[in-house]
Amino acid sequence: MRKSLFVFSLVSVVLFFNACSPKHGEILLTKYDDGNITLGEFEKAYAKNSGGVDAAKDDSLEQYQKFLDLYVNFKLKIKDAYAKGFDKDSSMLAELNDYKKKVGVSYLLDKELVEPSIKKLYDQRKLELRVSHIMIRPDSTGEEAAKQKANDVLKRALAGEKFEDLVTDYSVDQYSKPKGGDIYYITAGLIVPEFEDAAYKTEVGKVYPEVVKTRFGYHIIKVTEKKERIPAIRASHILITFANAAGQSDTVEAFRIIDSIKTALKNGADFAKLAQAYSKDPGSAKNGGDLDFFSRRVMVKEFDEAAFNLKVGEVSDIVKTNYGYHLIKQTDRKPYPSFEEDKEELKKIYKQSRYNADNDTLLAFYRNKFKFKLNESGIEKINAANDSTKINADYYGSKLYKEFGKSEIFSLNGKSFNLDAVIDKIQSENEYANKKISGDVVKAAANKISGDLALEAETLTMDSRYPEYAELMEEYRNGIFIFKLQEEEIWNKIKIDDAKLEEHYNKTKEKYNWNDRVAFTEIFSRKDSIIQLCKELLNKGTDFDSLAVKYTERAGMKSKGGKYELSDANSSPLAMEAYKLEKSGDVSSSFANASGFSLIKLDRKEAARPKTFEEAKAEVSGSFQEEESKRLEAAYNESLRAKYKPEIKKEELAKVFKSE
């Protein structure tokens, strides 16, 4: 009994301490004023700055300690920024809101439009559907009559009449009509969205219970098959065309040949060798019949269906197409890709097929959310009054501007937008340039502007819905604050004058030195014959500089007469050649270089020496500002630590990236 009680007590103690000990991420590393830094926050910040968690795990304790010191300084600066009231500063808030609008709109569209849509598309594209349809187009009887006719046919299909018979009697799609309405296999993203959506909602063997309208007409849709999609297969084939040696069509002879090849394959012959020997497809025969990878619907239907129904390594029966007789061997197939692998392709498909319509729907939702109201009667008055004014600079002197410029076009989120405001926003856009200010144009512009403004308004409320976005905004806000603090506490406090610079120069003059330098003149030509002519003229006493002005061809140097000012003797192959010369006026032998030939005259040499204060002034100024920045930065960090008194528990760093 006592042993049982002891065990129970021990378990209770363990449970008690486990319950009281903080989770790994909640372990306190630093406490300051009313803020703190946990192990979880530190790990997240460290990983972000070192290329990810895996890379961060390999770093040393010393590296973690250095980063913690920097991170504490950063957090104290942000604390100080709030103490200084930066979070209420109108100019900084305006900058943050500007950034929110720019980044937020694309973030919002990505999160609420693109991401969910491409995920749905990804899931749908795991299946391919075989679909039949009856298509009815409006004729001389008009749109309503066509719609009614389609509904009547649908009722009959739903009542159980044979679909193929209804296709024969009513469908106007001449491609699918001879095949009982079969349009073969479809995959999400390949056809018009309205048709596709209906097909994916329909069970195999069933007719979709509503007439579907697309830009092609009215459709009654039946799904005949659904199966797992193979993104692409690799196949080889042997083709025997119908044409005989005389160029005449002879299907009997073609069949005899393909049948004999089929027999040879059954007896163990090599497919690739037979393709090279007999196939009449010049593009693939030389490669053993290989057609590389292809997706559904790339090949003609008969070939496509046979190839995709094979297993890897399997050879088809004889397949007849318009090109001739084929034997097909499937050699490989691609598995369905992961979402990340397929993401960019999905985006491309989505942008081409659905994005515009979905975007319009989303904009309408946000316009409604922010109480968009179009002033129809005001726009009608503008339309009636204007006969010629266009969207350009002439608008501002027009009668329309004087009479209707202040007329409300729409309101959004309680704010009114008049004609002047609308014209101001669209006049620089090519879409509207020089268009007459008609009612339709003004409505289109109002819809576009209000949609953009509604999205921008929504971005200002997104922080609570999207933690990642909130973090992004916090990072930008912190960046603004840090920049302002650096400006106030460091950069604006650096005072530069010649006395301070000279004092700094005298302390650090060993840093400022000239290397060996050389000034020279070059005659360069792409032709050795020109260089030889110059050498002859030099031997006869012609001045080198005048020859350089006349003959040198190097880009950018002709206008300078081939003269190179004093520069580092090791700065280029030409400078190195010049420095080899003994005294001013000496001329080198001719030598070849990358694109031609050169002669060089030494103008002057200067041995390495320390720079004077005037020569080093720009470098001294940079060095002084860097030193002062570090000093002021250190002083500021020290003042923050004195003010907020952070308690740092460096011993806890031993647990970084060590959670179970």
Would you mind telling me the total number of residues written for the chain in this entry?
660
Mean per-residue pLDDT, 328-335: 97
Tokens 């163990």 -> residue: 268
Structure tokens that stand for 463 in this block? 């922080």
Which H/E stretch holds residue 218? strand 217-228
CATH topology of domain 127-228: Chitinase A; domain 3 (3.10.50)
Structure tokens that stand for 464 in this block? 């609570």
Are 333 and 96 a contacting pair, CB within 8 Å? Answer: no
Does residue 8 have a pLDDT over 60?
no
Check residue 386 and give its pLDDT: 85
Strands 232-240 and 290-294: antiparallel
d(CA 231, CA 126) in angstroms, rounded, equals 9
Does residue 19 have a pLDDT over 60?
no
pLDDT in tens, 136-156: 999 888 999 999 999 999 999
Residue type at position 628: E
Q: In degrees, to the nearest 5, what angle opens at C-alpha 416 toward C-alphas 412 and 421? A: 105
Supply φ then ψ for residue 180, to 5 degrees: 70, 25
pLDDT in tens, 466-499: 999 999 999 999 999 999 999 999 999 999 999 9
Cα 210 versus chain centre, distance: 39
Mean per-residue pLDDT, 336-351: 96
Report field, pTM of the whole predicted structure over 0.75: no
Q: How confident is the model at residue 11 (pLDDT cuts 50, 70, 90)?
A: very low
Check residue 15 and give its pLDDT: 34
Question: 230: helix, coil or strand?
Answer: coil
Does residue 124 have a pLDDT over 90?
yes
Question: Structurally, what CATH architecture does the domain formed by 513-610 represent?
Answer: Roll (3.10)
| Residue 652: DSSP 8-state | G
Strands 513-514 and 517-525: unpaired
Are 578 and 588 a contacting pair, CB within 8 Å? Answer: yes
Q: Where are the beta strands (DSSP E) in 175-216?
A: 182-186, 212-214
Does residue 317 have a pLDDT over 90?
yes
Of 601 and 463, the one with more pLDDT: 601
Q: How confident is the model at residue 452 (pLDDT cuts 50, 70, 90)?
A: very high
Does residue 659 have a pLDDT over 80?
no
Mean per-residue pLDDT, 603-619: 97
Q: In degrees, to the nearest 5, what angle opens at C-alpha 107 toward C-alphas 124 and 51? A: 95
Q: How confident is the model at residue 14 (pLDDT cuts 50, 70, 90)?
A: very low
Check residue 4 and give its pLDDT: 40
Check residue 9 and give its pLDDT: 39
CATH topology of domain 232-334: Chitinase A; domain 3 (3.10.50)
Does residue 18 have a pLDDT over 80?
no
**Close Cβ partners of 264 (under 8 Å, ≥ 6 residues apart):** 274
pLDDT in tens, 503-538: 999 999 999 999 999 999 999 999 999 999 999 999
Mean per-residue pLDDT, 421-429: 93
Q: In degrees, to the nearest 5, what angle opens at C-alpha 563 toward C-alphas 557 and 569? A: 110
Check residue 246 and give its pLDDT: 72
Does residue 12 have a pLDDT over 50?
no
Q: How confident is the model at residue 7 (pLDDT cuts 50, 70, 90)?
A: very low
Q: Burial level of 405, CB count in 10 A (0-12/13-18/19+)? A: middle
Question: 656: helix, coil or strand?
Answer: coil
Does residue 16 have a pLDDT over 80?
no
d(CA 588, CA 522) in angstroms, rounded, equals 10
Check residue 2 and give its pLDDT: 41
- Tell me the average pLDDT of the chain: 93
Domain boundaries, the chain: 26-83, 84-114+361-489, 127-228, 232-334, 513-610
Domains 232-334 and 513-610 share a fold: yes
Check residue 5 and give its pLDDT: 34
Q: How confident is the model at residue 22 (pLDDT cuts 50, 70, 90)?
A: low
Q: How confident is the model at residue 660 (pLDDT cuts 50, 70, 90)?
A: low
Question: 3: helix, coil or strand?
Answer: helix
Q: How confident is the model at residue 570 (pLDDT cuts 50, 70, 90)?
A: very high
Residues of the chain with pLDDT > 90: what percent? Answer: 89
Q: Which of 499, 525, 526, 536 is nearest to 617 (CA)?
A: 499
**Close Cβ partners of 203 (under 8 Å, ≥ 6 residues apart):** 223
